[in-house]
Each structure stands twice: as structure tokens, then as C-alpha cells.
Chain A
Amino acid sequence: MAFSHLLELENVHTELSLAEGTLRAVDGVSLTIDAGETLGIVGESGSGKSMTALSIMRLLPRSGRIVEGSIRFKDRVLSDLSEDEMEAIRGTEMAMIFQDPMTSLNPVYRTGWQVGEPLRIHRHVRSGEAIATATDLFQQVGIPDARSRVRHFPHMLSGGMRQRAMIAMGLSMSPSLLIADEPTTALDVTIQAQILDLLRRLNREYGTATILITHNLGVVAGMCDRVIVMYAGRIVEQGRTEDVFSHPEHPYTWSLLRSIPRLDAEPHEPLTPIEGSPPDMVHLPAGCKFQPRCPFAVARCSREEPSLLQVRDQLARCWVTQAGTELNA
């Protein structure tokens, strides 16, 4: 291969064994991300976006495992690595920040200690040096009064501040890939904007490739070069952000875009919710998984599942648009 990507997922399947049965949380996901790029992964809860991220980090819960497919990172196949080798990559070359900053920091250790910990683990620096670096990082991510904040315990910091601390921790070893799993979901709207600004700035300044997982389309529009839309563990649409937003080629994406309020809409124009409820992942319907909720479904949709194919400028998994029909109410 002449050109290789920073991260490449090929046909990844991840299963979770639950009491109700085994479910395919990630079902044949293929994606790539290059250095410096920002990729958005959108989908509702349970669509497999977090499980995709945890599969990349090899941090799946006890009940989960990757049953098929390969994940390549910097030309190494991650599934071939030993746990020790994987630990050497985590925190140094790929870092992850999580949804809830309230619960993602250890309550019994000082924030500076926690933020500087990757340096102690991977570079074996002294504790004082790690704290000094943490103080610098706190300043970089915009935590005021960094010198005293590093000595605070997590419960003494606000939610936004804690998420900044999480980001500082993720960046402590200057990773080439940062996975942010719903980094703003648990925060106030004004704080959300600040955190996204911070991520955007860090992506520009350090060239860190970023995978931004979110259910908020507005976040993707403002930040991501490309976007992947997931439904029932599958990618249903994938393309450049402006293409996907200007002319969605999967009915799910189309419905998602119509369900968000817009300032430029006609006054009193009602929002259109997506009918039905998210799929039962243990008992998925035959054919297209979105077909029971799809306003465009045709007979074929309930029989055969479509593949992810080129439709105009992007990829979409839909019989209707693949046949040339345009999505319109």
C-alpha cells in the first residue's frame, strides 16, 4: 500500500455478551482517519459509536470482544499486540477523553497528580516534574490559577474545569490520535462551546487527529472534516461534512437533520421527530435496520440489507438513494 492512514478500521465486528443474549454492538465498521484530520461519529445511544472507540483503544468491558476485522494504527495491527504493548500505546500515541467529567477522574487523587500520571507511567519522570508539566498543561487548556488547581481534588473543580483537566491529561504525551467520546454532553451549553473551541484549537496547533463522538449534529458541523453516521452498529452514511449536511443520502441522516431546530426556519414550522424507537440490538429486523422507522422504505428494504455504496459525493447504505431517488418529504 503506497499511502497508509494513521488509523484504519476494516470490517470490525464487536460483540457484547449480555444476559439477554449476544449483541453485535459494532457490525462491520470500516473507517480511516489521517494525521491532523477531524472525524465525527454521530448516532443515537446504543448505535455503537462508543463501542467503536473502545474497540480501537482495546478497552472494551469484560463482556465485549472484537470477533472479526482488523484495526491498524501507524501500520501496526492492534489485535496482534500484547497487553503490555497496548499499554505503551495508550496515553502516549492515542488518548481518549470521556463523556462524564464528574466520574472520569479519580476522586481520591489530586488533579495535577492524575493529569501528570501518563508522564510518570510512560516516561518515568519524577512526581515533581510531572506536576510541573501538569501545571503547564492546565494553563494550555485554559484552567485559571493552574498552580493551585493542580493541588485540588476533582470534587473541588467545576464540570467544565474537570473536562479541561481530562483534555490536558489526554494531551500530556502529545498523542497523534485523540478520541473524544461525547466530551460536551454532560456540560452546560456555554461550557460546551468553550470545550469545543479548545479541541479545535488543539487540533490546529498540534495536528492531533481527532475522532469526535457525539449525538449532536451541530457539534459535528462546526468541527469535523468528515462525518460518519451510525445506526444499529453499522455505518449508514459517510462523507465530507458539508456533503452529508447539504444533501443527506440516508433517510436516518435526513431525519436527524430535520429533527434539529434551525434559526433560519420559517416561524412556527414544526420539528419532525423520528418515528418509532431505537432498534432492539438483540433482535434486529431483517433487511435494512432503519426500515421500520423509515418514511421512504420500499418492499426490498425489509428483505435485503443494503451495502454501504457510493451515492453522489458520499457513501450511503440505502436502497432508495442507491437507486437514484432523492430524499424529500
Chain B
Amino acid sequence: MTTYVLRRLVLMVPVAFLVTVGVFMLIHLTPGDPALIILGEDRSPQAIAQIHQELGLDKPLYVQYVIWIDNVVHGDWGRSITTHEPVAGAITERLPATIELGVVALIWSLLVAIPLGTVAAVRRGSVVDKLATGIAVAGVSVPNFFIGIVLIFVLSVSARLFPFGGYVPFFQDPWESLRHVALPAIALGTAGTAINMRFTRSSMIEVLGLDYIRTARAKGASWRRVVFIHALKNALIPVVTIVGLQIGGIIEGAVVTETVFTWPGVGRLAVESIFNRDYTVVQGVVLLAAFSYMVANLVVDLVYGWLDPRISYA
């Protein structure tokens, strides 16, 4: 197990290298010279040359990369071009809000999807099944910013059940924090909920038809025991794969959702930085997103092994 984790970490090195190269190249692939943004009005060739020298842009590309990666590894993610604050600090400050949003969205989507998918599978063709299918189709088809706007309008502005916008750190006031995160998390998690529900349902239907389910019935296990103990663990194996892929979607969706809900997270930081052509911050955010995705997939693989003992870590 430990060796497996170590081996996976080693295998992540080439991926990480490619990711950092991609992120590093952002500045050189985007049109416009960063020096021009920094300088604003004063655009004398000397000033531009001086900025280039300060930023190391006059050195060969591979030297620039080595300097940059060395800094990144040592926690120096550069400074924001617009605010001159350290990028790492700006991201760390915004990170808790995004983590809370993403985690709550994921938990919400699983909390709804797994029970609903299971019931839909066990009661195939029933009203619950049809209703769940309808909700799933709607959930996948409607973009999350639209769901967000509807939620704000109905539950926040009209019904006044939830506050609109604003973020309260979880450890400061957990209850208020959850009230604030509820709507954005639902908006962000809905598409995933729908997909997870459909996966749970189809996977559950398949598993319930297998021989070992009949064995469990022949032992005298009740339907509930058969469904929740014998079938569910098997049925969740494909669902976990999908959830792993969704983590990327959540990071991506957070950008839109945070903008709609004025949520002070990394996603909105990314949007602001893109508009300001603040490429150092954009680099930082993209780098973080890529690494989160890699780590999330490692975790998914470990959960996979816990669910399915046939997968060997040897």
C-alpha cells in the first residue's frame, strides 16, 4: 500500500513536469507583452527592457523555466502584476472559501445521488424512478450559472431562506457558514448529482442481477441488507471513477459559480486576474487546479482499492 502510493507519486512526476511547462508557457503563449501591462502609459524602450530584465524575460526560455520552477518549489509563486502582493499569499487567502464550496458541493451531490439512484434502481419503473430520471435530465441540461440565478431568485430574494452572497469562514461560525455556502454548493453540485445518480442507478441494476446477490438472498438476508450491504459497495465502484473525473469539473465550475454568487474564492480570483492580464496570478491558480486534480485522482484510486479488493496495489 505504501509502496503503491510512493509509486503513484513517482509516476506523477512526468505529469507534473508537463503541467508546469504548460503553466509556464502561458505567459509566452498569450498575446501581449507583460511589460506593457506593468508599464501602462510610459512605454519607452528602455523601460520595457528594464522590466524584461527584472522579470528575467531577456534570458533563454529554459533558463527562465528553471528559475521559475525553483521559485515555485520554494513557495515563491511570484508577485501579482497589479497588486504586487505575493501570488502564493493571495491564493492561500482565497483557498478556504473554494475548498469549502467544492467539498460541500461534492458531499451534496453524493448525498442526493447515491440514495436516489439506489431507490430508483430497486424500484425500477416506479414514480420515484421516473421523477429521479426527470430531475437528472434537467440537472445535466441546465448550466450551473442558470441554476445559481434561479436559486438566488427563489430561495434567497423571494423566500429569504438563504442569505445572498457573502462568505463566512467555516471555523468562525459553522452554521452561518453552511447557510452561506448552501446555494452556491447546490448550483455547483447539481450537474454532478444528476450524473452520479444515473451511474448509481444503472450500476445498481446490474449488480442486483448478479449471482452473489442471489446467494445473499439464499442465506436469508433481507432486501435491505442485500441492497445496502451486498450490492451497494459493488455498485459504487464505477461511481467512484466518475466522481474522480468530476473533481476537475468542480474546480472548473467553481469559476462560474463563484462569479455568480460573488464568492471570494480562487475561481473568482482567476476571473479577475484574467481580466487584468495578471498572468502571475493566473499561473498560480492554474498550477493549483492542476495539482488538486492530480491529488484528487490519487485519492480516488485509493478509495477504489478499498471498495474493490481485486485491485492489487502490489
Contacts and interface: CB of A to CB of B under 8 A. Distances in A.
A229 interface: no
A166 B308 contact: no
Interface stretch (A94-102, A134-142, A187-195): A94-102
A40 B210 CA distance: 26
> What 8 A-B pairs are tightest by C-beta distance, nearest first?
A91-B220, A90-B220, A91-B219, A103-B211, A106-B212, A153-B309, A96-B218, A104-B211
A57 B222 CA distance: 14
A59 interface: yes
Nearest to A166: B215
A185 B301 CA distance: 37
In this complex, the member of B219, B225, B230, B308 whose beta carbon has the largest number of chain A beta carbons within 10 angstroms is B219
A118 B217 CA distance: 10
A104 B220 contact: no
Interface of A: 57, 59, 83-84, 87-92, 95-96, 98, 100, 103-109, 117-118, 121-122, 153, 155, 166, 169
B221 interface: yes
B234 interface: yes
Contacts of B217: 59, 90
23 contacts: A59-B214, A59-B218, A83-B223, A84-B222, A90-B217, A90-B218, A91-B220, A95-B219, A98-B218, A103-B211, A104-B212, A107-B234, A107-B308, A107-B309, A108-B307, A108-B309, A109-B230, A117-B221, A118-B220, A121-B225, A153-B309, A166-B215, A169-B215
A186 B233 CA distance: 26
A157 to B, nearest CB: 12
A202 B212 CA distance: 23
B116 to A, nearest CB: 21
B108 to A, nearest CB: 26
Contacts of A155: 309-310
Interface of B: 210-212, 214-223, 225, 230, 233-234, 307-310
A92 B218 CA distance: 10
Contacts of A122: 220
Contact of B219 (A100, A103, A118, A153): A118
Contacts of A89: 220
Nearest to B306: A108
A20 B223 CA distance: 29
A118 B220 CA distance: 7
In this complex, the member of B211, B212, B215 whose beta carbon has the largest number of chain A beta carbons within 10 angstroms is B215
Nearest to A105: B212
A87 B309 contact: no
- Chain A interface, >50% SS class: mixed
Contacts of B220: 87-92, 118, 121-122
B218 A57 contact: yes
A105 B234 CA distance: 12
A98 B212 CA distance: 10
Given A108-B309, A117-B219, A153-B309, 13 more contacts: A84-B222, A87-B221, A90-B217, A90-B219, A91-B221, A95-B219, A98-B215, A104-B212, A117-B216, A121-B222, A122-B220, A169-B215, A169-B219
A104 B213 CA distance: 8
Contacts of A91: 218-221
A108 B305 CA distance: 10
Contacts of A95: 218-219
A290 B310 CA distance: 46
A87 B223 CA distance: 9
Given A90-B220, A96-B218, A153 B211 contact: no
Contacts of B310: 107, 153, 155
A92 B310 CA distance: 30
B120 to A, nearest CB: 15
Contacts of B210: 103
A121 to B, nearest CB: 6
A118 B212 CA distance: 14
Nearest to B307: A108
Contacts of A108: 233-234, 307-309
